[in-house]
Structure 1
Amino acid sequence: MSYLKWNDLLAKHFFNEDMAGKEVLLFVDEVLINEIGREIGKDLSHFISSLIEGPSWVNAHSNYGICQKALLTFENWRFRKKLRYPPYIGYLALFVLAGYVEDENYSQIAYYPKLRALLGEEKGGGQYPSFGKMIHIWMDLERWSKEDKFEEFGRFNVRVRGNWRHVGLPQSQTIISSKERKNIPLIFNRAGIISSDLSAPETIRTSLLEYGEDILAKKTVRLLRRQENNEHLLQSFLDLVIDELNEWDGSLPDDFVDFDPFVRSRIKICLKLNRVTEKATFSLRINAQNEFPDDSLLFQRRCGSNFHCKGSIDRWSTEIKGNDDLLIDAAEFDWLHGEQFEDLNNRWKCSLKGTTVRVFVEGKKFGLPHDNLIETPRIERGSRFILLCYEPIIEKILKWGEKACEKFLRINYKGLPNGWVLYSGINPMESCIGVSELTIDSDIKIRLVDGLRLGKGNTFLKAIPPKISLENYNGTEVVLLNDEPLKCKNENQHWELPKDLPLDKTLSVIVLDQGNEVKRSNFKITDSRISIPNKKSFIDTSGFHETGDKPMIIGVNVYNTDFIQYKKEYTLPTFLSNEIIFIGQQPGEIFHWQGKTVINLEWEPIWAIYKIKRRKWKAHFCSTKKVVECQISNQIDSQKDLRFWKTVLSKMKKSIEKPEFPPLYELWEHYLEVAKSVR
């Protein structure tokens, strides 16, 4: 097997569609090399010999060292044809392999002898020749993953571990092994945390130590205990774990026997403030990381009464109702100590966290009604918020608010449970020590929101570009797009992109604070070009003779047949989500609904593709026709809508969950197959 075969196998292992939007670590040990080579009957020794030989344009330089061969492999590689992946990944894998240790402390002295031993060379002292130039290759891999591929196969970040700049590059890829990363959900499960908790990095660090010491390697535990004296690397590790938590759907590793197969979720308090009557009213919703069941969730309280709800928008339920089908008053629950409930039929648990401080923000942040204030796990810099505090902690909260916030004052409303007080605050700048809800994450994050994302990478459709959202900003930052300032929409804290952005070009969002770049994110805008021959062009070019008005099929198009007009009295299933893409029976019949726009269609939708959660959709059959009557009909004339229709069914299909009912599954597959023929 040639070097490039090894290179592509390794690259595909690390960079693939399952890693889209996630950080990639090139964790390499001998076990991994042998597993990859086992498919074609090769092992570590063959891998090493292929590296020494190198790709075809390098193997003539037999007198070159391994780093010099890596540089030759890297040089101008984008101009070489038929390379799906960067050709130097095999060499980077070798450098990581040389830096991997089981549980010993890292040592710069031990690294180079191990590298030479792997290559079968004599022992020597000092740095390996040209090893310091490998930084250019590491940097190029980051550029390829972010700018060339827009994170479609994953996101690679250049990091340094320890105090050694050159050796620290490959060793940074070993901060967590593949096995450790796979088992991180076990720690989440033990600690009882879910993605919607938005846990602070310090909370994650303590949870990993408390519940994961038997899962994590000793060197990882040392990093978490700050024994390696590398705060930057620790923060990078915690960011990776938080990304894993944000993507976690509650499932556990396949080889783990789950003795508690319950879905876990959180009960969140909803607050409404009537400024006329000066009265506060409270209700409840469930926030989950899993898809809600089709049936209502039914929970029983210790007092004997029941309450129920159904899935609503994104990962939120409807407001919780009691036996009488009236909204339950959240003030009846134990806010201070918390409560937990179970639905045994649906194997679902929900819990109300007990705490002395609760933070509320506007519901529009979550796609919920604007007059709702929704409980959120913790505050963010630059935000407006309402605090609900228990009396014993009021003095501490008041001191913090007056010192750390731009504005902080008590507000008086009736309807509060005994012992609780309301405060209103703006732009918190510092954390309140010892109060997890008032812990501020100082790391600014760029979010690309509201756009139509193709797959899980950072490629968006031209018709629906994203908006820029910043988390944890303090108001002094400047946001640029390719060095041009963007204006902030203060009412929704979004930065909107200008019109007529260039297609299929790298667009860089850059955040500056006091003139220094603090964060960058790349994305691109694309559009599909579709050319569907019409009936006349087909007849002219094929010589086909049309007789009468009998139905005629040309490719995906059906001619000389009537189609059913949309019945305007038909109720569309807008209850499914606050973002739905409706697909009609004709290629090009498509409408993107985002919760606010008025729906006025002249055709009947067949599918409602609704958003379940971030980067995940589900196909819902919504037609009044029989399934057998919903096959693709003839096209419409709008090329713009045709491009959108094609893009959703072709490029987004991996993000869309298919129907399970066999006839609907077959119909959905029919639509996907037709989309392939639309060019």
Structure 2
Amino acid sequence: MTYEEWNEVLAGHFFTPRQSGRRVYLCVTRDLLVQLSGGRGDAQEEFIEVVREGRGFGSNYPLFVGAARWADRWRNLRFNDPEMYRYPPYIPDLALSVLAAGHGGESEFSTASYYPRLFDLLGERPVPGGYPHFDQLRDVWLDLERWANIDERGRLGTFRVLTTSSNRVHVGIPIAQTLLAEREREALKRAFAAVGLQPSFPPVESVLGAIALKHVGTDLRPRTRRLLHPDTPDEELRIALLEAISDELEDWDGVAVARDDGDALRRSRSGALALSLHVPLLGAPRVSLRCVASGTVPEEGWDVVVPKLGRGACVEAAAGWSTAVEADDGALSPALLDWTSPITAADDGHGVTFRRAGSRVVLFVSGESVGVDGYVESNRLPLGEPFFVAVEGASSAAVEEWGSASCDGFKGVFAQSLPEGWGLYRADAARSDEGVGMHFSALSAPETVQLSLVGGVRLGRTAEYFSFSPPSLRVQSARPVTVRVGSTVVGEAVETGTLSIPPAVLSAGAIRVEVVEGDEVVKAREFFVHDEFALAPSEGPQFNVYGEVSGGANGTVYRGVTVHPTPPSPRSFNVLPELPSFTSRRVVLLGRGVGEVAVWPKEPLPTGWAAIWTVPVEKRGRAAYCGPTESVPSPQRRAGANLRKAKEWKKWLYQWRKKIDPPRQNGLGKAWKEYVSFARNV
């Protein structure tokens, strides 16, 4: 294979549409090269020789020099020939530097041993001072970051230049790409699922490492296990690895893949169960249970079964967080559960399992950053912000001692919905986690600086936002830092908090956010802002005069404000009588027969049965009658009804009865109540 061919297959392997919005690591191994070459046993040797000769750069540059020269000029060529330069042309040079990081097995792995590995891989005699011109690769790595995050806007995957060493930055970059192998990243997702982690309030890095060792330690490489151990001698590598694991949780979409007993791959979708605290102006705080999803939330919400509490339902409130889980007769009471033991709930209809790990303390922080009213359960302690903490009786003395010594305004408060023997405390702010973080993981303060984008209107999983609704900046740090957007400072002496981005500093294009400590940029993120969003004519759906999606043939076709006139042929069809127009994002259609239900537009309009009720639903809904004008048909059981649809029919009529108001039309409230009463016994 030529240099150009290696460039194409390597870039196409790592940067693909399925990686959209997800972090990419350029982890290159001998096995991967064999795989990409079609199974050739000498693939690594051929690859090294091709890169050494510098083919593809049009001149006899020394190793790594050609890549650095082309990083400066390839975009101009891409402008004239975008197909030829779909990917940056220097990927093999970067891949070779990563291949050297893993060369020589697991016996030794540190920044100090990198250059000997590189010389040995190339079959060259070591020379003092490192490998010639190797430092020029840093600008190449930065160019790759710019291409992935700004040029491609994360649509083929996002990339970050990480380093494992502050003293050996150049060799730390390729080493950081090998910290987690692909199989280890898949294993970590199983660990996240096992304990019900959710990205919005993750544990501190050391706790994440302990979770990984406990739940998937046997699936990790020996080197990874050694680095995760608190007593590892290479602290810089350990910190870099823990940050990489934290990044994996941030990008996780709730899906984990495992092999079953028959060695077949099985995908499962997981979420978290989290406690939340409502603090009224008058009266005692109340605790409720919520579901949290890392991926897509179904429009109709979740119907979960919680052991000891029974069945409950909830819908999305904001950012993957649900409303309180409620049964037919009101909210489920978490006080009946054992908070010190794991809790599992399942929505079999959607194939989602929600989990919560047991704990002796439960930390509640403001839900503002995720768009939830009140306070929500968190796995890390924010310094300098108000919080509540629920404590199991045997642990209360230790927490009270810490609260008195390290918190401002710490005091006990009366609360409802707590298990027997538990107490609730509140504080205006915590100054440190000294003396308590090592005993209760939820009360551990951040060990490194964290920067995340929260809220805003985003396009899919990419880091693209509309200018009218940009994200906020969530910062967590153990020390005061400065936050700037571009060259504008938006926060000074920040430790923990959510910062808004002033409209004046936003403009269409790439936006860079930096967290600065002293003179050093310790964290950085990029996102892309759109002033407007237009569908190209070839991309938008087409509709005929009947409102059906059409390919454009036989009839007038509409796309936005564009009309393609062709005289439509007459057509007779049945419509839903008196079907109102709704601005709601979903409308539930209910027929008289058990199981006759459709949620539009997720499901098509019914053709085999007639809708009697329409219910536009957001967090609440109001029923409207759309049946025959002469009389309201009574509900009836239907032979052969689909069991899942029958349950869904009951859910909307009976389980949602307190959230759906009766119709406004005169005389129809009684008919609606007849349907609700009938559904109760389904």
Please report the TM-score for the alignment, with normalisation by the length of structure 1.
0.69
Whether the aligned pair in 1 keeps the contact of 2:449 and 2:477 (CA below 8 Å) is: yes
Judged with a 3 Å threshold, the aligned counterparts in structure 2 of structure 1 residues 8 and 568 are, in CA distance, closer, same or farther, namely same
- Taking the TM superposition and a 5 Å limit, the aligned residue runs for 1:216-365 are 216-226=220-230, 228-253=232-257, 255=259, 257=263, 264-276=270-282, 278-289=283-294, 297=303, 299=305, 301=307, 306-313=310-317, 314-322=319-327, 325-337=329-341, 339-340=343-344, 349-351=353-355, 353-365=357-369
Offset at 1:425?
1.6
Q: 1:211 aligns with which of 174, 194, 215?
A: 215
Offset at 1:561?
9.0
Matched, 1:394 2:396: yes
Give, in whole Å, the separation in 2 of the partners of 1:520 and 1:512: 9
Q: 1:66 aligns with which of 56, 63, 66?
A: 63
Mind listing any 5+ residue stretches in structure 2 that lack a counterpart?
539-553, 569-574, 588-597, 609-644, 646-682
Offset at 1:94?
1.3
Task: Kindly provide the amino acid, as one letter, of the partner of residue 25 in structure 2.
Answer: L
* 1:233-290 superposed Cα distances (whole Å, 9 cap, x missing partner): 32222222223234434433365548998755444333333443x3343333333446
1:30 — aligned with what? 30
Greater CA drift, 33-42 or 428-437: 33-42
Judged with a 3 Å threshold, the aligned counterparts in structure 2 of structure 1 residues 625 and 469 are, in CA distance, closer, same or farther, namely farther
Give, in whole Å, the separation in 2 of the partners of 1:159 and 1:574: 45
Tell me the secondary structure at the aligned position of residue 93 of structure 1: helix
Matched, 1:138 2:141: yes
Give, in whole Å, the separation in 2 of the partners of 1:94 and 1:341: 47
Tell me the secondary structure at the aligned position of residue 148 of structure 2: helix
* 1:458-505 superposed Cα distances (whole Å, 9 cap, x missing partner): 23233x34132223258954432222233799xx9431331484323x
- Taking the TM superposition and a 5 Å limit, the aligned residue runs for 1:551-570 are 557-558=563-564, 570=581
Whether the aligned pair in 2 keeps the contact of 1:263 and 1:349 (CA below 8 Å) is: yes
- Taking the TM superposition and a 5 Å limit, the aligned residue runs for 1:438-587 are 438-462=443-467, 464-472=468-476, 477-486=481-490, 493-499=498-504, 501-504=506-509, 506-513=510-517, 517-526=521-530, 527-528=532-533, 557-558=563-564, 570-573=581-584
Greater CA drift, 413-422 or 218-227: 413-422
The percent of aligned pairs where both chains have the same amino acid is 24
1:12 — aligned with what? 12
Offset at 1:159?
0.9
Give, in whole Å, the separation in 2 of the partners of 1:114 and 1:339: 48
Task: Kindly provide the amino acid, as one letter, of the partner of residue 206 in structure 1.
Answer: A
* 1:516-574 superposed Cα distances (whole Å, 9 cap, x missing partner): 544322223234567879xxxxxxxxxxxxxxxx9755885245999x9xx99545545
Offset at 1:413?
5.0
Offset at 1:424?
1.8
Whether the aligned pair in 1 keeps the contact of 2:301 and 2:316 (CA below 8 Å) is: no
1:670 — aligned with what? none
Offset at 1:513?
4.7
1:405 — aligned with what? 407
Judged with a 3 Å threshold, the aligned counterparts in structure 2 of structure 1 residues 117 and 376 are, in CA distance, closer, same or farther, namely closer
Task: Kindly provide the amino acid, as one letter, of the partner of residue 445 in structure 1.
Answer: Q
1:437 — aligned with what? 442
Tell me the secondary structure at the aligned position of residue 523 of structure 2: strand
1:102 — aligned with what? 105
Whether the aligned pair in 2 keeps the contact of 1:280 and 1:413 (CA below 8 Å) is: yes
Task: Kindly provide the amino acid, as one letter, of the partner of residue 109 in structure 2.
Answer: Y
* 1:369-419 superposed Cα distances (whole Å, 9 cap, x missing partner): x3x433333332343212222333233222322333343233345775543
Give, in whole Å, the separation in 2 of the partners of 1:329 and 1:268: 13
Judged with a 3 Å threshold, the aligned counterparts in structure 2 of structure 1 residues 105 and 485 are, in CA distance, closer, same or farther, namely closer
Give, in whole Å, the separation in 1 of the partners of 2:125 and 2:52: 17
Task: Kindly provide the amino acid, as one letter, of the partner of residue 88 in structure 1.
Answer: Y
Whether the aligned pair in 1 keeps the contact of 2:485 and 2:505 (CA below 8 Å) is: no
Task: Kindly provide the amino acid, as one letter, of the partner of residue 243 in structure 1.
Answer: D
Give, in whole Å, the separation in 2 of the partners of 1:346 and 1:456: 21
Whether the aligned pair in 2 keeps the contact of 1:382 and 1:475 (CA below 8 Å) is: no
Tell me the secondary structure at the aligned position of residue 66 of structure 1: coil
Tell me the secondary structure at the aligned position of residue 422 of structure 1: strand
Tell me the secondary structure at the aligned position of residue 80 of structure 1: helix
1:597 — aligned with what? none
1:3 — aligned with what? 3
Matched, 1:77 2:81: no
- Taking the TM superposition and a 5 Å limit, the aligned residue runs for 1:170-209 are 170-189=174-193, 193=197, 198-209=202-213
Judged with a 3 Å threshold, the aligned counterparts in structure 2 of structure 1 residues 507 and 109 are, in CA distance, closer, same or farther, namely closer
Task: Kindly provide the amino acid, as one letter, of the partner of residue 331 in structure 2.
Answer: L
Give, in whole Å, the separation in 2 of the partners of 1:415 and 1:531: 53
Offset at 1:105?
0.7
Give, in whole Å, the separation in 2 of the partners of 1:233 and 1:48: 27
Judged with a 3 Å threshold, the aligned counterparts in structure 2 of structure 1 residues 331 and 621 are, in CA distance, closer, same or farther, namely same
Give, in whole Å, the separation in 2 of the partners of 1:166 and 1:112: 11
Task: Kindly provide the amino acid, as one letter, of the partner of residue 248 in structure 1.
Answer: W
Task: Kindly provide the amino acid, as one letter, of the partner of residue 94 in structure 2.
Answer: L
Q: 2:379 aligns with which of 377, 382, 387?
A: 377
Task: Kindly provide the amino acid, as one letter, of the partner of residue 358 in structure 1.
Answer: V
Give, in whole Å, the separation in 1 of the partners of 2:111 and 2:523: 31
Give, in whole Å, the separation in 2 of the partners of 1:347 and 1:21: 24
Give, in whole Å, the separation in 2 of the partners of 1:260 and 1:35: 23
Task: Kindly provide the amino acid, as one letter, of the partner of residue 376 in structure 2.
Answer: I
Give, in whole Å, the separation in 1 of the partners of 2:42 and 2:533: 42
Mind listing any 5+ residue stretches in structure 1 that lack a counterpart?
534-549, 577-605, 609-618, 627-660, 662-679
Judged with a 3 Å threshold, the aligned counterparts in structure 2 of structure 1 residues 484 and 69 are, in CA distance, closer, same or farther, namely closer
Whether the aligned pair in 2 keeps the contact of 1:270 and 1:282 (CA below 8 Å) is: yes
Please report the TM-score for the alignment, with normalisation by the length of structure 2.
0.69
* 1:557-612 superposed Cα distances (whole Å, 9 cap, x missing partner): 245999x9xx9954554589xxxxxxxxxxxxxxxxxxxxxxxxxxxxx998xxxx
Whether the aligned pair in 2 keeps the contact of 1:113 and 1:123 (CA below 8 Å) is: no
Whether the aligned pair in 1 keeps the contact of 2:285 and 2:414 (CA below 8 Å) is: no
Tell me the secondary structure at the aligned position of residue 253 of structure 1: strand
Offset at 1:438?
0.8
Greater CA drift, 308-317 or 424-433: 308-317
Task: Kindly provide the amino acid, as one letter, of the partner of residue 15 in structure 2.
Answer: F
Task: Kindly provide the amino acid, as one letter, of the partner of residue 58 in structure 2.
Answer: V
Q: CA RMSD in A?
A: 4.4
Task: Kindly provide the amino acid, as one letter, of the partner of residue 79 in structure 1.
Answer: N
Give, in whole Å, the separation in 2 of the partners of 1:457 and 1:348: 24
Whether the aligned pair in 1 keeps the contact of 2:390 and 2:422 (CA below 8 Å) is: yes
Judged with a 3 Å threshold, the aligned counterparts in structure 2 of structure 1 residues 106 and 12 are, in CA distance, closer, same or farther, namely same
Give, in whole Å, the separation in 2 of the partners of 1:169 and 1:58: 27
Whether the aligned pair in 2 keeps the contact of 1:503 and 1:524 (CA below 8 Å) is: yes
Tell me the secondary structure at the aligned position of residue 502 of structure 2: coil
Whether the aligned pair in 1 keeps the contact of 2:341 and 2:358 (CA below 8 Å) is: yes
Judged with a 3 Å threshold, the aligned counterparts in structure 2 of structure 1 residues 24 and 232 are, in CA distance, closer, same or farther, namely farther
